[in-house]
Each structure stands twice: as structure tokens, then as C-alpha cells.
Amino acid sequence: MAEISRRALLGRSAVLLGLAAGAGAGFARHVHHRVALPPPPPPAALVQALAAQQSVRAGYEHASGLPAGLIADAQAHRQALRALLELYPGWRLAQAEPAPAAGAPTAGPPVPANRQQLVSAVSALTDQLRHQAEAWPATDPHAVEVAPVLASIAASLQTHRMVLG
């Protein structure tokens, strides 16, 4: 059997003692876990604008005698608003959650049933988007993207209002 020198025995003992002390200190230490906070919800103004736009788009699809370009514009407006909402992580999180149960009330304005209601809905959405574009907070991290898109959609809807009468 090989003999271990005193120096080797003391060195190994010191290493083992250090490991034991480190492990003991690790177990005695309180661990503070950071709790993951969900991202803030997207701006309510954008969610409301999307809901109103979807109502107008549905009204376009139910109305007869409208130029096809209006429906195509409405689809482009929907895509632009959804792209803006995708900038906000809270929107992506909300989209990943399960859908509400069948029969649950849906949010958003009702679909315009006739041409007069459609003109009113387009006018209201135009005014809403114009106001939101002007009042969008400059402190919002996506303000340079959001405000111009809202103003552009409002301008487009202004021409829709003229076409609808």
C-alpha cells in the first residue's frame, strides 16, 4: 500500500474542508427568486381601434354595391393595426391565451346593418383614429410607428366616407 505524505494529506484535507464549508454556506443562504412579471397589456386605444375596424370591415362585406377596393383597404387596415399590436408583448401573450367560451359576449361594436350605419361607423372610426394619432404619447416606445399608421388609416377612411356618401 502506498503511503501518503503529510503534505498531500493536509492539502487534500484542506480541499475537502473548503468544499464542505462552501456547500454549507450555499445551503444556509436564502435564495431570492425573481418572479417573472407578465408584460403590460397593449394600449387599449389600439385594441379598440382594431375591434371597430373589424366591425367596419364586416359591414363592408355585408353591404352590396360597394367597390371591391374598399374591402381590400379594410383588410389592409386590419393587417396594419394587428402589426402595430404585435409590437407590444402583452398583445402576443393575450393571443396565446385560450379563446373565451362559446356563447360569451364578444368585445367590440356591432356590425353595421345598413348603409347609413356603415357611414356612421366609418365616420366614427375615422375620427377616433385621427384623434388617437394626434394624441399618441411620445413616451410610448413605438410612437414613431403607431401615430403615422393611425393617421394614414384615418386619411384612407376619410376617402371611404366620401365614396359611401
CB 77 within 8 A of CB 53: yes
- Kindly report the average pLDDT of the chain as a whole number: 87
pTM of the model: 0.74
DSSP summary character for residue 65? S
d(CA 61, CA 26): 66
Of 112, 113, 134, residue with least CA distance to 123: 112
The more confidently predicted of residues 75 and 106 is: 75
The pLDDT, as a whole number, for residue 103 is 46
CB 54 within 8 A of CB 78: yes
Dump pLDDT digits (tens) for 51-102. Answer: 999 999 999 999 888 898 999 999 999 999 999 999 999 888 888 766 555 4
96/21: higher pLDDT: 21
